[in-house]
Amino acid sequence: MTAPRFQRTVEDFVCERCGAANTGDGYTNHCRECLYSKHVDVHPGDRAASCGGLMRPVDVLRSAGRWRLVHECERCGFRRANRVRDEETDALIGTMRRLADSA
């Protein structure tokens, strides 16, 4: 039997990049303020990655009617796309502008 590809892990955290307090609900993947994440998972929610590097938002995609944010680990280069919540739209727009300005 194989391990599940997603494990719901409920955790509150303080963002290591901007210091914002975040309340987790088991699906929380990134800071709701700056949208940075942390490389802690091999498969979403498993906390099995040993890297621990900050993952910066590097791209925004639209898939199946939902926004997805692509993160890239600043330490090892690992990339993963994650869903963005509707209430994160303002932060997402800011990230899109920042990405466009740096292109």
Question: What is the SS3 assignment for 102?
Answer: helix
Q: Kindly report, residue by residue over 35-83, the tens digit of the pLDDT.
A: 999 999 988 888 889 999 999 999 988 888 888 899 999 999 999 998 8
Could you give the C-alpha distances from 30 to 12, 37, 94, in angstroms and in order?
11, 4, 15
For every residue of 60-95, DSSP letters joined together read EEEETTEEEEEEEETTT--EEEEE--GGGHHHHHHH
Q: Please indicate, yes or no, if residue 64 is contained in any of the structural domains.
A: yes
Length of the chain in residues, anyone? Answer: 103
Q: Please indicate, yes or no, if residue 1 is contained in any of the structural domains.
A: no
Distance CA 40, CA 55 (A): 10
Question: Whole-model pTM?
Answer: 0.81
Q: Please indicate, yes or no, if residue 47 is contained in any of the structural domains.
A: yes
Q: What's the total number of domains in the chain?
A: 1
Domain interval for residue 88: 13-102
